[in-house]
């Protein structure tokens, strides 16, 4: 078995070095942080809930994406981001769904000289930034085209966005500018999803290890740690 660390993969002693198993550390954090403010986008979006679009979604499920509109989410994000920079306050925003949000974040990281042209990725020292973000697991697992098939099973807050936005989340995980992937519990379907991403190389093992633990640990978020073993 192999342990996937922040920058390398090593063999675990007294295990079969030729098996196809990866061992990941998973960081479980809550909102009670000493020096960091955790902001749940869903709580702020709930205040802007569009009841007319919710009613429309009963017959046209794809309308649900606008129950919590992209425009409202982006406006909330900009306000949070700007206040964090102005007040020199370290914050982590949970559940972003839009490429426009990450573009704002990448501009900020670029200005801090964290972009590495030789690898076309960001190498961010999260201990030195004020703002980081997580994407919710459901916003990677599903996309707008799934509303027709899944209906209310995927009526989440924040909502599932269209395919281009989901693709962007994968892009920025692999560019190292999304700090974490958020989920409540490490259930079988989530583990199966991560396994699929590793096998299909949608997320590389090192990148997955970063968004499961190391980025947020570097951001000074305190946590309880568990393990996840992926066999492929």
Q: How many CB atoms lie within 10 A of CB 120?
A: 8
Are the CB atoms for 1 and 19 separated by under 8 Å? yes
The per-residue pLDDT for 149 is: 94
- Work out the number of other CB atoms within 10 angstroms of the CB of residue 230: 20
173 compared with 184, residue with greater pLDDT? 173
Note the pLDDT of residue 13.
87
| Non-local CB neighbours of 156 within 8 Å, separated by 6+ positions | 136, 138, 139
Question: Where residue 180 falls among pLDDT bands split at 50, 70, 90?
Answer: very high
Strand bridging mode 131-136 / 180-182? parallel
| pLDDT attached to residue 198 | 94
Residue 68 CB partners (closer than 8 Å, separation 6+) = 45, 46, 48, 49, 50, 157, 158, 159
Cα 48 to Cα 76: distance, rounded to the nearest angstrom: 10
Q: Which H or E run includes 3?
A: strand 2-4
* pLDDT above 70 as % of the chain: 100
**Per-residue pLDDT tens over the stretch 47-95:** 999 999 999 999 999 999 999 999 999 999 999 999 999 999 999 999 9
d(CA 99, CA 26): 25
pTM recorded for the entire structure: 0.92
Residue 113 has pLDDT above 80, yes or no: yes
pLDDT class for 22, splitting at 50, 70, 90? very high
Number of domains in the chain: 1
CA distance 83 to 171: 27
Query: What order do you get walking across the sheet with 9-11 strand by strand?
Result: 9-11, 2-4, 21-28, 224-231
CATH number for 225: 3.20.20.140
- Range list of H helices, the chain: 41-46, 51-56, 70-87, 99-111, 138-141, 147-150, 163-174, 188-199, 205-209, 215-218
**Residue numbers of the domain that contains 78:** 2-231
3-state helix, strand, coil in the chain (%, to 5): 45, 20, 35
Residue 31 has pLDDT above 90, yes or no: no
């Amino acid at each position: 078995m192999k342990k996937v660390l922040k920058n390398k993969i090593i063999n675990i002693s007294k295990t079969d070095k030729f098996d196809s198993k990866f061992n990941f550390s998973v960081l479980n954090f809550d909102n009670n942080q000493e020096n960091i403010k955790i902001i749940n986008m869903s709580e702020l979006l709930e205040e802007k809930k569009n009841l007319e679009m919710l009613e429309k979604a009963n017959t046209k499920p794809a309308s649900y994406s606008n129950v919590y509109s992209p425009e409202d989410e982006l406006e909330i994000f900009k306000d949070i981001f700007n206040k964090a920079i102005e007040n020199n306050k370290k914050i982590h925003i949970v559940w972003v769904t839009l490429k426009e949000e990450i573009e704002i974040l990448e501009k900020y990281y670029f200005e801090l000289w964290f972009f590495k042209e030789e690898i076309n990725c960001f190498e961010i020292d999260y201990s030195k930034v004020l703002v980081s973000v997580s994407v919710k697991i459901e916003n990677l697992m599903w996309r707008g085209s799934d509303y027709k098939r899944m209906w209310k099973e995927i009526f989440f807050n924040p909502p599932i966005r269209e395919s281009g936005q989901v693709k962007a989340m994968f892009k920025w995980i692999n560019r190292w500018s999304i700090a974490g992937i958020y989920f409540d519990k490490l259930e079988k379907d989530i583990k199966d999803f991560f396994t699929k991403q590793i096998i299909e190389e949608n997320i590389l093992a090192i990148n997955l290890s970063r968004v499961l633990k190391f980025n947020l640990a570097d951001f000074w978020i305190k946590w309880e740690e568990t393990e996840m073993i992926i066999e492929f």
